[in-house]
Amino acid sequence: MIREHFEYKTTITTILADNEAHIGAAKEAMVAARQEVEAHLAADPFFGMTLEPYLPATESLTVSRMANAGVAAGVGPMAAVAGSIAWAGVEAMQDAGAAFGVIDNGGDIALISDRDVRIGLYAGGASAGASRAFILPEQSAVYGICTSSASVGPSISFGTADAVTVFARDVSLADAWATSLCNRTGNGREGLFSPLEHSGVDGVYVVMGDETARWGTIPPVVPARVDESLISAGRVGAVTAHIRRKTQPPGRTPPSP
């Protein structure tokens, strides 16, 4: 397996792949997706400033995904930018023939995988988030695992959660809902998950200090050694991918790939 750090302007990612050509495809697609967003921002600055849902006219797939996700989750479209760019990269990997590809864009992950993926949770100093990981089974279609935090990283948040991780097949939606739900934790946990029925979100895992909460269907949570050095630098996000191959005995934490 190949692990490569890739930066383009403020897009700072980690790419995992089995083939160098698939990494090249991911880079090219993420740059193109980012350029689509930049072109739209130049013509429509409000798109980048608003924290409210906004649905502009656009021919860009990435911009459309961001806007639609923001409308669904009740946040501005830029809340979904990292996940949307990662999504574009993994789609390109799949189009290039990849059965395995992971892109961690500052804690917002898109992936396809022909093996189990161990996703380590990082929630800063929150005791409830320490030394644990999700075990995501094989995913033949692109899948999103996106995290927002009020205590880790520079992203704007109006909440109090140390980590809100959202699982969904729509990566942009996972990213937008992670932001939206993290914002809602500023009012406590009561009613936190009430908007999620029929939302397209599979599951949510929340860390707040020494407490956790969950909704829907999430992958198994297991003890793990989370290597913080594997988190994509630039935005110390909340999750980082570790790979567990099918041949590894369950319950063991693998060496960092």
What is the per-residue pLDDT across 88-101, written as a single tens digit (0 to 9) for each? 999 999 999 999 99
Phi, psi of 191 (to 5 degrees): 75, 10
250 in a structural domain: no
**Which residues are bridge partners to 204 per DSSP?**
166, 215
Domain-located, residue 256: no
Percent of the chain with pLDDT over 70: 80
Return the pLDDT at 118: 92
- 252 domain-assigned: no
Tell me, yes or no, whether 251 lies in a domain: no
Residue 208 lies in a domain: yes
60 occurs within a structural domain: yes
**What is the average per-residue pLDDT within 135-145?**
97
Is 75 inside any structural domain?
yes
Per-range mean pLDDT, top range of 60-69, 114-123, 147-156: 60-69
CATH classification at residue 66: 3.10.520.10
Q: How far apart are CA 144 and CA 247, in angstroms?
A: 24
Two tokens, residue 127: 């005791």
pLDDT given for residue 254 in this prediction? 25
Is residue 233 pLDDT above 80, yes or no?
no
Whether the per-residue pLDDT at 253 is higher than 60: the answer is: no
Checking if the pLDDT of 16 tops 50, the result is yes
Cα–Cα distance between 15 and 109 in angstroms, integer?
10
Averaged pLDDT score across all residues of the chain: 85
Segments forming the whole domain that contains residue 118: 2-243
- Could you tell me the pLDDT band of residue 188, with boundaries at 50, 70 and 90? low
Structural domains counted in the chain: 1
Q: Kindly write down the DSSP assignment for every residue of 17-33, as one continuous string.
A: ESSHHHHHHHHHHHHHH
Question: Which position has the higher pLDDT, 110 or 155?
Answer: 110
